[in-house]
């Protein structure tokens, strides 16, 4: 039982990290109809710049802020330079964002060096609690709480505020929103920057969790993010949380019980979903 | 429809280039250059096969490395299990092609009905699956460490291998040129231009797309087999994303929708890679030469979506039409039309 609980917490924490990555992807896709293959690059830039600020300032909170700022800035650059010229053209979007991903992850190696960097958990989050037989690592609980808080904030913004209303309306019908006199380009930019900042934030939280950061992890996590977006349904925010938890749990349990299948299980899951239910598991057919 | 003269300027140019390439190993008396040229030919074959998908059918696949890997592993495993004769090598090429054909048929049948985004993601995932299998199935593939094997004795002479690859390149080029100029190829171009309209004209576009994917997979498998022989070593890197990225870069930079484009792209990228990594000793920035290509590639997608060859060809056509009489180029069809912003 204690094994089950620790695997469960482990999977949940991983799921929350993937959720931070996938939520941005799914919103960007739902609103802008852009599949951002460079999202993993933003994730890894968040991790590296956040850790850089963290070691420089000594404060984990400042490091997180640094990562979020990097995410916003890179999101702005990406939207303005890379996405704007190719709106509405899927093939070019796929090609260009993949190229940008390449540039981002190579730039990491130029700026921060090609070697992987070890990262420590800040002292007040290190260690673990013992509840009966179960050992609960503090940092994982921290990630789960943060993930749920972020989900709550975004749910609130999407459902209760004006900008959230515009975004949700934009996902349903872009032309109509434009007809009603809203500058949808500004909304696009806002959503893109927020999504990028979330990815960068996820990368920063990821760094102490895995204990080491390296330039290639962007692509690895981006693939997980895509899988989550597909399973959860493109453009569905709450669907991406459910799917991320599903993927995280599947990965954690499979890694323990059937280790050689752990990497394959998510891809098989995604292939099955794409073939039989391409609109995603957690969306109504109407929305998809 | 096509009345091509056998001694047209185009064919003569090809002939001259081929003759120059035949004499190349004797003129350039350097082993490194011969090996580099062999590498360029091998990647030209891969990039041409990729262009069948990207340039002619207009679908973006991120899983091309799996067919390359299938070819490389088939050749390596057969040559190391049985003896290293020419016969086994030729059989291994055929077996790899058949295997790649079956895989690409099944994958294509399952995935090609999806929209471009989903297709790109699913091919990424499936090729990731193949990479995982190659890494975990250690009894056969030896995982990431890979294994060496003995190439057929004939190929110990690099020059002979150079000629073998050159012959493969020319044959593949001619076969693919016949393929894209056939009625089938015309339908593929129609699918690229407007799939819905093609379907409404009564073509079952899925069948045509699967055919394109099988042809591309089979040719990619051939290039994988040759690659394995050129290294005499194989590990999981032949299945990795980098191979797909290489093919993608070569096709985009060289010119999509042409068969010469990928060859030019392969020439540019392999040569630059060779010399830039040589420069890395003096200037550390060149160790990350891929950055320059990434940027070049992004600029190419935005400003020159037709690549080097396509841009030159359009320039040539406008020049010719200006000289003769004002007339728009009808031959060149852009890969992607600027659609309405929100479609």
**Mutation to test the A interface, candidates B131, B301, B341, most A Cβ within 10 Å:** B301
B124:A226 CB<8 A: yes
Distance to chain A for B116, nearest Cα, Å: 7
**Stretch B84-101: mean pLDDT:** 88
B301:A96 CB<8 A: yes
Q: How far is residue A96 from each of residues B17, B250, B298, measured CA to CA in Å?
A: 33, 14, 6
Torsion (CA) A74, A205, A251, A266 in degrees, nearest 10: -10
Span B161-171, pLDDT tens digits: 888 889 999 99
B132:A219 CB<8 A: no
Distance to chain B for A3, nearest Cα, Å: 26
Contact A2, A134 (CB under 8 A): yes
pLDDT score for B67: 92
Contact B57, B210 (CB under 8 A): no
Which of these ranges, B79-93, B134-148, B325-339, has the smallest mean pLDDT? Answer: B325-339
pLDDT tier at B4 (50, 70, 90 boundaries)?
low
Span B226-251, pLDDT tens digits: 998 888 888 888 888 888 888 888 88
Pairwise pLDDT comparison (A243 vs B279), residue with the higher score: A243
Residues 6+ apart with CB under 8 A from B30: none
- What is the gyration radius of the CA atoms in chain A, in angstroms? 19
Is B3 an 8 Å CB contact of chain A? no
**Mutation to test the B interface, candidates A39, A103, A247, most B Cβ within 10 Å:** A103
If we measure between CA atoms, which residue out of A88, A106, A135, A53 comes closest to residue A219?
A106
Domain boundaries, chain A: 2-216
Span A53-82, pLDDT tens digits: 888 888 888 988 999 999 999 999 988 888
pLDDT score for B129: 82
**Stretch B312-328: mean pLDDT:** 75
Is A132 an 8 Å CB contact of chain B? no
Q: How far is residue A125 from each of residues A235, B60, B219, measured CA to CA in Å?
A: 34, 44, 54
B58:A91 CB<8 A: yes
pLDDT score for B284: 67
If we measure between CA atoms, which residue out of A261, A245, A208, A176 comes closest to residue A18?
A245
pLDDT score for A227: 84
Is A3 an 8 Å CB contact of chain B? no
Q: What is the pLDDT along chain A (288 residues), one digit of tens a residue?
A: 778 888 888 888 888 888 888 888 888 887 777 888 888 889 999 999 988 888 888 888 898 899 999 999 999 998 888 888 887 777 788 888 888 888 888 888 888 877 888 888 877 777 777 777 777 888 888 889 989 999 999 889 888 888 888 888 887 888 888 888 888 888 888 888 998 999 999 888 888 888 888 888 888 788 888 888 888 877 778 888 888 888 888 888 888 887 777 767 877 787 788 777 777 777 654 443
Q: Is the pLDDT of residue B338 over 50?
A: no
The SS3 call for residue A225 is: helix
| Of residues A88, A174, A271, nearest to B125 (C-beta) | A271
In Å, how far from its chain's centre is CA B55?
A: 11
Q: Is the dihedral of CA B188, B193, B196, B201 positive or negative?
A: negative
| Of residues B59, B132, B294, nearest to A103 (C-beta) | B294
If we measure between CA atoms, which residue out of B215, B212, B220, B312 comes closest to residue B261?
B312
pLDDT score for B7: 65
A267:B126 CB<8 A: yes
Q: Is the pLDDT of residue B202 over 50?
A: yes
Domain boundaries, chain B: 31-254
Across the strands, what pairs with A130? Answer: A135
Pairwise pLDDT comparison (A28 vs B103), residue with the higher score: B103
- % residues pLDDT > 70 (chain B): 91
ipTM of the complex: 0.75
**Stretch B59-84: mean pLDDT:** 87
The SS3 call for residue B234 is: strand
Mark which residues 233-272 of B lie under 8 Å from A by CB: 241, 245, 248, 252
């Amino acid at each position: 039982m204690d094994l089950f609980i620790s695997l469960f917490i482990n999977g949940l924490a991983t799921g929350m990290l993937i959720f931070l990555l996938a939520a941005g992807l799914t919103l960007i896709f739902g609103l802008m109809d852009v599949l951002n293959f460079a999202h993993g690059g933003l994730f890894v830039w968040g991790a590296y710049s956040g850790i850089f600020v963290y070691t420089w300032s000594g404060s984990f909170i400042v490091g997180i802020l640094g990562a979020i700022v990097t995410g916003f800035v890179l999101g702005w650059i990406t939207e303005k330079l890379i996405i704007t010229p190719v709106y509405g053209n899927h093939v070019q979007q796929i090609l260009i964002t993949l190229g940008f991903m390449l540039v981002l992850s190579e730039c990491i190696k130029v700026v921060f060096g090609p070697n992987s960097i070890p990262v420590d958990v800040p002292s007040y989050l290190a260690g673990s609690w013992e509840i009966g037989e179960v050992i609960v690592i503090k940092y994982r609980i921290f990630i789960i709480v943060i993930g749920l808080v972020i989900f709550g904030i975004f749910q609130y913004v999407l459902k209760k505020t004006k900008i959230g209303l515009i975004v949700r309306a934009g996902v349903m019908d872009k032309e109509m929103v434009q007809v009603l006199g809203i500058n949808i380009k500004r909304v696009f930019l806002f959503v893109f920057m927020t999504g990028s900042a979330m990815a960068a934030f996820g990368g920063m939280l990821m760094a102490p969790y895995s204990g080491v950061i390296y330039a290639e992890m962007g692509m690895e996590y981006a693939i997980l993010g895509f899988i989550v977006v597909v399973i959860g349904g493109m453009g569905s925010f709450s669907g991406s949380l459910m799917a991320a938890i599903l993927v995280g749990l599947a990965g954690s349990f499979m890694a323990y019980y059937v280790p050689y299948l752990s990497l394959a299980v998510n891809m098989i899951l995604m292939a099955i979903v794409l073939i039989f239910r391409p609109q995603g598991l957690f969306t109504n057919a109407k929305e998809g | 429809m096509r009345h091509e003269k056998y001694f047209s300027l185009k064919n003569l140019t090809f002939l001259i280039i081929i003759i120059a390439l035949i004499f190349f190993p004797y003129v350039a008396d350097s082993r490194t250059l011969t090996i580099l040229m062999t590498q360029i030919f091998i990647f030209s074959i891969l990039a041409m096969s990729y262009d069948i998908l990207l340039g002619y059918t207009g679908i973006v696949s991120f899983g091309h490395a799996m067919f390359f890997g299938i070819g490389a592993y088939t050749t390596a495993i057969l040559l190391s299990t049985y003896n290293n004769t020419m016969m086994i090598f030729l059989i291994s090429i055929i077996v790899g092609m058949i295997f790649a054909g079956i895989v690409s048929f099944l994958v294509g049948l399952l995935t090609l009905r999806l929209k471009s985004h989903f297709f790109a993601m699913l091919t990424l995932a499936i090729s990731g699956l193949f990479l995982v299998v190659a890494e975990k199935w250690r009894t056969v593939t030896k995982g990431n460490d890979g294994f060496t094997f003995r190439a057929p004795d004939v190929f110990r002479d690099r020059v002979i291998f150079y000629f073998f690859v050159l012959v493969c390149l020319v044959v593949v080029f001619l076969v693919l040129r016949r393929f894209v100029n056939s009625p089938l190829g015309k339908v593929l171009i129609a699918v690229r231009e407007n799939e819905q309209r093609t379907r409404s004209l009564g073509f079952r576009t899925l069948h045509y797309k699967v055919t394109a994917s099988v042809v591309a997979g089979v040719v990619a498998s051939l290039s994988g087999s040759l690659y394995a022989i050129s290294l005499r070593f194989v590990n999981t890197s032949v299945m990795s994303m980098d191979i797909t990225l290489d093919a993608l870069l070569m096709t985009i930079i060289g010119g999509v929708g042409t068969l010469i484009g990928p060859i030019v792209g392969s020439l540019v990228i392999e040569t630059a890679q060779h010399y830039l990594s040589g420069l890395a000793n003096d200037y550390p920035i060149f160790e990350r030469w891929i950055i320059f290509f990434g940027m070049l590639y992004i600029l190419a997608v935005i400003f020159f979506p037709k690549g080097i060859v396509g841009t030159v060809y359009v320039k040539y056509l406008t020049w010719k039409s200006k000289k003769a009489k004002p007339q728009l180029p009808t031959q060149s069809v852009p890969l992607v039309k600027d659609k309405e912003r929100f479609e």
